[in-house]
Structure 1
Amino acid sequence: METLLRKSCEVIKEAGKSLKNAQVPSARAGDREKLVQQFRAINAFSTHIIRAGLLTIAPDIPWSDAEFDTTRQKDPALGRMYWVCDPMDGAIHFLQGFSPWCISLVLMENGSAAFSIVYDPVRDEMFTALRGQGAWLNGEKLRVNVRNTIQDAILATAHPNQPLKEKKETTLLLTSLGKLLPKAGAVRMLGPSSLQLAYVAAGRLDAFWEYGADVYDWLAGALMVEEAGGKVQTIVGEAFGLETNTGILAGNEELVGLLEEEMPVEWDIFSCKM
């Protein structure tokens, strides 16, 4: 498994280098439709490089193409072992010419992440995790931060990709921000969820939360937080996994416990208790 992780890192690094060299499109998108077209083009460009590289090193491991279909992500037909990849996390940043943006890759085995990679090509930072053995940044072992009060904590979150369609999740995010902004040391939205979770594993952030069901966005970073000594769960305190549909909460165990008490949930907003 260590050899496959190392070879996978080489594939991801090559893809990141190619993306970085591709640069931002010469003309900024004039409207949302053109921005979506640019995203599809750069996403396909990155996907092609990564899939080709993975086929070379592991031809028998299939690729899940359910990145944008949360129902298919739970399909048992995917098999015992398969790849989960976000070939461009933070695409808006990339297309607008700023960072961070990254690539994430997970090898799933029997329904859980066996290893994961999050690579930031701009900073040349390779975050990796191997189940049961730890998490690393460019080879240096990672450990979650020990801040254990909300008022001292540097928190991060992310908004839904489609706020107009994901109204419940948007309301929950805004409600949670209203509760936590006055209490926390600081709150940030840095863009890519996978990279923000990797930052939690590295102690750069103390905790991360996000509402929704975008499990594929969270798998890579979630394993890193766990392997760095942290805790990962759903917003409502359940075990995190492929079936998660309420959101993710990750950080050191004590801080996660405190934040869980602050998190509004669906029945709160619809019963007007907040």
Structure 2
Amino acid sequence: MLKSVIDIVETLATGIRAPERPPTSLGEFAEAFSAIDDPLSASLRAALTGIRPDVGWVDEFEDLPGGEVWVVDALDGAVQFIQGLPQYCVSVTLVRDGEAELAVLHSPWLGETYAARRGEGARRNGTLIEPSRKASLTAAAAAAGQPPFVTKQPGVAEAAGRSLTAILGEVAAVRNLGPTSWQVADVAAGRLDLFWQYGRDATNLVGASLIAREAGAVVTTADGAPWTPSAGSFLAAAPGLHAAAVEILRQAE
């Protein structure tokens, strides 16, 4: 089934195009987003239902129910996309009882697809990937993010600020190369060495966490506990860097 999902995502993502110019108001942004996201989401839903009609559907930012559901974000990185920036992807995850079973991320701009199925490793464009082999944070390229509508989660923005201050002095560089899911997948592939985030963000992280784990990256909360979709923080790191990253983030808290 993973191959079928990859084919669906890559085919339907081919025709999406950003607006000719960025919107000048929130209303224009919402209109531009809906004009692209609504039909693409509908097409993805129809195609995925066609291969698994018994599976439910979860929209972005919703809680994950029990049973099997598709978690789909047709424009993961919508702000960048609407602004004419290349950092966006189409994200599809099959979740069973809160655990990702398969995940597909496709970047039309890069022509790349990350994909993983539980127990079968993670791949980019069909080739197995693995995380960085770095053992020192001083050489690390780190990335950070924040959940959508971060101000609705009290204390999260403040925790993000403290952690950024702490990490900046320990690594070679910190970037935000959104969308969140793609940054986590880039940790899985060794392009980035670690990614962290505070706040609950289940639908953006559940599929990417599978790709990271299947590639061999370490996925936990910021304090090193097992990550679950209800967790209030997230860390994905190369095995040789994870413990050091946890120690810095604990001190920042």
TM over 0.5: same fold?
yes
Amino acid at match of 2:167: L
Matched ranges for 1:52-201 at <5 A: 52-65=46-59, 67-69=60-62, 73-76=63-66, 79=67, 81-166=68-153, 168-201=155-188
Among candidates 43, 50, 70, match of residue 49 of structure 1: 43
Contact 1:154 1:185 in 2 (8 A): yes
Of all paired residues, the percent bearing the same amino acid is: 31
- Cα deviation digits, residues 104-158 of structure 1 (max 9, x gap): 1111123311111111111110110111110001111000111121111110011
Q: Distance in 2 between matches of 1:93 and 1:251?
A: 24
Q: Which residue of 1 aligns with 2:248?
A: 262
Deviation at residue 15 of structure 1 after TM alignment: 2.1
Contact 2:134 2:140 in 1 (8 A): yes
Amino acid at match of 1:55: T
Deviation at residue 167 of structure 1 after TM alignment: 5.0
State how many pairs are aligned: 253
Deviation at residue 68 of structure 1 after TM alignment: 2.1
Contact 1:90 1:192 in 2 (8 A): yes
The answer on 1:17 being equivalent to 2:11 is no
Contact 1:236 1:265 in 2 (8 A): no
**Partner-residue secondary structure (3-state), 2:219:** strand
Q: Which residue of 1 aligns with 2:233?
A: 247
Contact 1:160 1:170 in 2 (8 A): no
Amino acid at match of 1:42: I
Q: Distance in 2 between matches of 1:215 and 1:111?
A: 9
- Cα deviation digits, residues 48-98 of structure 1 (max 9, x gap): 111011122222222123x223xxx1433xx2x111111111111111111
Gaps of 5+ in 1: 269-274
Gaps of 5+ in 2: none
Contact 1:172 1:265 in 2 (8 A): no
**Structure 1 residues 53 and 226, CA gap change in structure 2 (3 angstroms):** same
Q: Which residue of 2 aligns with 1:272?
A: none
- Cα deviation digits, residues 225-252 of structure 1 (max 9, x gap): 11111110111222112222x1110012
Amino acid at match of 1:256: H
**Partner-residue secondary structure (3-state), 1:263:** helix
**Structure 1 residues 110 and 75, CA gap change in structure 2 (3 angstroms):** closer
**Structure 1 residues 163 and 213, CA gap change in structure 2 (3 angstroms):** closer
**Partner-residue secondary structure (3-state), 1:223:** helix
Q: Distance in 1 between matches of 2:221 and 2:81?
A: 29
Q: Which residue of 1 aligns with 2:32?
A: 38
**Partner-residue secondary structure (3-state), 2:241:** helix
Aligned CA-pair RMSD: 1.7
Contact 1:175 1:264 in 2 (8 A): no
Q: Distance in 2 between matches of 1:226 and 1:151?
A: 23
**Partner-residue secondary structure (3-state), 2:155:** helix
Q: Distance in 1 between matches of 2:203 and 2:146?
A: 15
Q: Distance in 2 between matches of 1:163 and 1:112?
A: 24
Q: Distance in 2 between matches of 1:227 and 1:163?
A: 28
Q: Distance in 1 between matches of 2:243 and 2:47?
A: 41
More off after superposition, 247-256 vs 138-147: 247-256
Among candidates 177, 190, 199, match of residue 203 of structure 1: 190
Q: Distance in 1 between matches of 2:109 and 2:20?
A: 19
Amino acid at match of 1:263: L
Q: Which residue of 2 aligns with 1:271?
A: none
Q: Which residue of 1 aligns with 2:223?
A: 236
